[in-house]
Homo-oligomer: A and B are copies of this chain.
């Protein structure tokens, strides 16, 4: 087995030590390294001053085999990554007319002339390989020194990502150490502790695979991942068997095994069946239609939405009878049903999807707490209504409301598909022990 390659990522820039910016490049870089079977062992974020940089670079050289540095390649005085590496590695910076010509051409295309400070970007560490920048002026540099590899990358993600994709990834392929396998299951309708209890006995004994669960309001993810240095297929097989075991246990609480969002899954189901939907929202305030229309091509399945915030809008735009609102309140199963059925009828969509509730922080009554939300789905042959009590702040309640409504539609579309294919005894909705969705 080849020696492990220890990767460190260094992000350079004083703005990354402010309360305003996170180093998001490292997520992308980590994913790329993982896919090559190269573990990232440390990430460092350091400011622009030369002393800090040089200390940081020297330390990394002592520990790591591969050092990825982002940022500090720009034209300003604060951009010191090149010059500090030159000092640390004791190598001169050499002006490269061809690099400068590239920068000039880039400016000329936009009718501009480079400033004198841009000349700085044409200085290249002696012996380094130049990584041309398609999307900016700063070229990257690939440096081999004292048995280490140091790769300098520009800070803006729009410049860094294509450079890594086109120039770094293919070159690092030769140093691949094994294979990374990752499977992601996304779920909704289950609490985190219920999920943990359900699947804990399935967790891999095998050290080659790890399982992590991520929870956010209205959504859970199970990540199965691992490395192998003996080829991909054996590990991929293990990961697949584990994924299958989770999938059998968790049934249709899983909405995606391919990293799609719930709205993408619902969009696919609608589009593939030639079905359409219209929405009627109160407390979700348009988030449900916003999510459905985030999917490219949504005009094929999304006809219209009504955000009936005021009671008057519920009666006039949706035809919800005013006495119904007076008798049961706008946040009630009766009104949710009327909203879903009405928006379906008026739009002539196949499905009507409705949300009414109390997103908070205001609006609660003695009998109706913040987080109480009714969701309803109307179709040609019936209407289903769910009563929910969602925890969290206003934005969390809005999101969970939209998530629940989308999930009702997803489950309905799945059952509808299952009908012709399966005998009736298999058609019942799967529930977990002790948990009814």
Contacts and interface: CB of A to CB of B under 8 A. Distances in A.
A395 interface: yes
Nearest to A347: B313
Contacts of A394: 294, 296
A285 interface: yes
A199 interface: no
A414 interface: no
Contacts of A144: none
Contacts of A23: 22
Nearest to A343: B317
Counted per complex, copies of this chain come to 2
Main secondary structure of the interface of A (DSSP, over half): mixed
Given A22-B22, A52-B41, A398 B307 contact: no
A91 interface: no
A293 B298 CA distance: 23
A34 B19 contact: yes
A135 interface: no
Interface stretch (A42-50, A81-89, A118-126, A248-256): A42-50
Interface stretch (A55-63, A93-101, A429-437): A55-63
28 contacts: A16-B43, A17-B30, A17-B41, A18-B212, A19-B27, A20-B27, A20-B212, A20-B223, A22-B26, A42-B47, A42-B56, A43-B44, A279-B286, A281-B286, A284-B290, A285-B289, A285-B302, A286-B286, A286-B289, A290-B398, A293-B398, A296-B360, A302-B309, A304-B307, A304-B309, A304-B317, A312-B347, A317-B346
Interface of A: 15-20, 22-24, 26-28, 30-31, 34, 39-47, 52, 55-56, 59, 63, 212, 214, 223, 225, 279, 281, 283-290, 292-294, 296-299, 302-310, 312-313, 316-317, 346-348, 359-363, 394-395, 398
Given A44-B45, A283-B293, 8 more contacts: A16-B43, A17-B39, A19-B28, A285-B290, A286-B307, A287-B290, A304-B309, A316-B346
The 3 closest A-B pairs by CB, nearest first: A285-B293, A286-B289, A286-B286
